[in-house]
Amino acid sequence: MDKNTFTGLFLIMLIMVGSFFLLKPSADEVKKEQQKQHLDSLKRAGLVDAKATKADTSAAAAAKAGVVDSALLKLPFGAATVGTEQLITLENKEVKLKVSTIGGRIYSVELKNYQTFDKKPLILFDGAQSHFGFKFTAGGKPINTDELHFTPTTPQAANGALTMRLSYSPTQYIDYVYTMGPEYKVNLTVKPVGLEAVINNGNTLNLSWSASLHKLEKDIKTERQYSTVYYHNTDGDVDYLSPAKDETKEIAADAKKVDWISFKQHFFSSVLFSKAGFAKTNFATTTDVNGTDIKQMRTDVSINADATGTYPLQFYFGPNRFSTLKAQGDDLEKQIDLGWGPLKYINRFAVLPVFNFLQQFNWNYGIIILVLTLLLKLVLSPLTYKSYLSMAKMRVLKPEMDEIKAKVGEDNPTLLQQEYLKLYRKAGVNPLGGCLPLLLQMPIVIAFFRFFPSLFELRGQSFLWMHDLSTYDTILTFPALPLLGWTHISAMCLLMTISTLIYTYFNNQVSGATGQMKYIGYISPLIFFGVLNSYPAGLNYYYFLANMMTFLQQYLIRQMVDDKKIHSQIQENKKKPEDAKKKKSGFGARMEEMMRQQQQANQTKKK
């Protein structure tokens, strides 16, 4: 470095250091900015309006400094605007809560018997990004309890109960009474005392509840895909916001009331119940959160007091295990996504009961999936046999079909299909016989596609090299690939794809597929690899087992099915006289008639 360069850099450094000290705000400027920020927070809380006077600003500054100003005390609940936050612990065997004196709200929720994917304490939400407050008007001023200071009536929670008090005067106050219920339930009773002449909303309070839900699982993309707001109305209907996009929804005051609202994550939920029901309900979800959270969820509701003038509420903080949610009542288990239409009923009334039965043996979940797959294959084995037999018949007929093709030519596909149908009818072969059994099996295969990703029981369960059957296993990681976005290769998904390609090869040998149909079968497994690479290892393990058992089934069936016997039977069928009535009925006859008409239309066009 030469002398001029050194001198230049030294001067630049002096200018930067000098600018830092010369432009640094004075203590008075810092104090004024703090006063302004606190005034803004009071405006947002509804404690002062947008036309705040200088006296109001001074009062806010005094509150910020911890001094109770006389102007501030004149505001409704003015004394509750100052104080120091305290966190009070309330817990039972399953749930540990921290209740804040600011807002008297639940500051954090920890499920004591569960951990995150990386073995940290499982905290559903915590911190200043979560809110719970009632909004009403008092003394002509809008009030939001979420930013006011409550006082615990006892220094520590006793016997699983805690009362937080928001004081208006010594004889006028609002109590939040928390009591720990069984397992995952927490009761909250809101009791206004002596405030009839102060609160101008009558027996109706507006409640705003929001939570920024933490990332708990390995794959944040999948966790967001299964996380959204669910709600249940008093007629027993369950609905939800779209998990795929940010969404808001409003239910008018004159519509059906909502009796529970759930901030549902993939495997855990935070649910708020009201026996009286919520009216005029708003819901919202957004992914505009920090990198450690999955979504911000919010609801604004109106709630009426009961006959005693109180507002009884209840929380559920716990796992999305089907049996656990069902035990809570109120159709809470309906927020578990078991698929749409018939898939839901297959999973709910067939797959789930069998799975629960196998759980009783206390086997590893990898063994349970193995047995479940075996039982399914046994149930579907008659359809598999019929499908194989039909494909074997088509394979035996292929030489004769090739002769017809050579005789008719490929220039007249309609006539060619007519001749094929004649051959099928004479031979007593149904060309769709190999497809129909497979189509009947498809709803069950797709049902498993929805069953395993929603199955809480697989969470954290290991088998072989798979550390968690509820998420993907990783054999290779790398930077995100352009367009595809892949960052890993799942070992079980790779095995499943390889086994599917092998199955396709042998299936083509059985069916005698040629041309484009022969190669289409190889493309589908590659597409599914791209889709299932980030799906649970348990799901890919099931598909892999299904392929292996299909290989075994086809081997056994092949020992039972003799192509020579099938060929002899076909020849015997061809010798039998055709029944005129039978020939004119059925799907084959209709297809032949349609093709005949198409052939005539083509000939007419040529003329």
Give the DSSP per-residue string, 14-48.
HHHHHHHHHSSPPHHHHHHHHHHHHHHHHHHHTSS
Cα angle at 535 between 529 and 538, to 5 degrees? 105
Work out the pLDDT band at 55, boundaries 50, 70, 90. very low
Residue 9 has a pLDDT of: 46
Checking if the pLDDT of 119 tops 90, the result is yes
Q: What is the mean pLDDT of residues 516-527?
A: 75
| % of the chain exceeding 90 in pLDDT | 40
Residue 28 has a pLDDT of: 55
Residue 383 has a pLDDT of: 80
Checking if the pLDDT of 50 tops 90, the result is no
Residue 353 has a pLDDT of: 93
> Is the Cβ–Cβ distance between 95 and 318 less than 8 Å?
yes
The residue with greater pLDDT, 441 or 320, is 320
Q: What is the mean pLDDT of residues 86-99?
A: 93
Which region among 60-74, 201-215, 307-321, 463-477 has the lowest average model confidence (pLDDT)?
60-74
> Is the Cβ–Cβ distance between 434 and 512 less than 8 Å?
no
Residue 254 has a pLDDT of: 76
- Span 336-385, pLDDT tens digits: 999 888 888 999 999 999 999 999 999 999 999 999 999 988 988 888 87
Residue 120 has a pLDDT of: 94
Checking if the pLDDT of 601 tops 60, the result is no
Residue 256 has a pLDDT of: 84
**pTM summary value:** 0.77
Checking if the pLDDT of 332 tops 70, the result is yes
- Domain ranges in the chain? 80-330, 356-472+536-571, 578-606
Residue 604 has a pLDDT of: 56
Residue 433 has a pLDDT of: 62
| % of the chain exceeding 70 in pLDDT | 75
Residue 580 has a pLDDT of: 41
Q: Which of 37-46, 241-250, 518-527, 553-562 has the highest mean pLDDT?
A: 241-250
- Span 200-231, pLDDT tens digits: 777 788 999 999 999 999 999 999 999 999 99
Checking if the pLDDT of 583 tops 80, the result is no
> Is the Cβ–Cβ distance between 265 and 229 less than 8 Å?
no
CATH of domain 80-330: 2.70.98.90
Question: Which residues have CB under 8 Å from 189's CB, separation 6+?
Answer: 175, 176, 177, 179, 310, 311, 312, 313
The residue with greater pLDDT, 103 or 395, is 103
Checking if the pLDDT of 402 tops 80, the result is no
Q: What is the mean pLDDT of residues 512-520?
A: 63
Axis-axis angle for helices 365-408, 436-451 (nearest 10): 150
> Is the Cβ–Cβ distance between 388 and 534 less than 8 Å?
no
Q: Which of 126-135, 252-261, 317-326 has the highest mean pLDDT?
A: 317-326
Instruction: Please name every residue paired with 158 in a beta bridge, in sequence order, or none if there are none.
Output: 161
Residue 512 has a pLDDT of: 57
Cα angle at 435 between 546 and 412, to 5 degrees? 140
Checking if the pLDDT of 19 tops 70, the result is no
Checking if the pLDDT of 131 tops 90, the result is yes
Nearest of 244, 240, 224 to residue 232 by alpha carbon: 240
Checking if the pLDDT of 311 tops 80, the result is yes
DSSP of 116-134:
-TTS-EEEEE-STT-EEEE
Work out the pLDDT band at 416, boundaries 50, 70, 90. confident
Nearest of 9, 57, 55, 67 to residue 37 by alpha carbon: 57
Q: Which of 61-65, 410-414, 535-539 has the highest mean pLDDT?
A: 535-539
Q: Which of 105-119, 471-485, 577-591 has the highest mean pLDDT?
A: 105-119
Q: What is the mean pLDDT of residues 69-78?
A: 64
Residue 526 has a pLDDT of: 85
Checking if the pLDDT of 6 tops 60, the result is no
Work out the pLDDT band at 53, boundaries 50, 70, 90. very low
The residue with greater pLDDT, 64 or 409, is 409
Question: Which residues have CB under 8 Å from 582's CB, separation 6+?
Answer: none
The whole-chain average pLDDT of the chain stands at 80
Nearest of 244, 279, 242 to residue 258 by alpha carbon: 279
> Is the Cβ–Cβ distance between 133 and 103 less than 8 Å?
yes
Checking if the pLDDT of 319 tops 90, the result is yes
Residue 41 has a pLDDT of: 44
Residue 31 has a pLDDT of: 47
Checking if the pLDDT of 134 tops 60, the result is yes
> Is the Cβ–Cβ distance between 194 and 292 less than 8 Å?
no
- d(Cα 456, Cα 446) in Å, to the nearest integer? 19
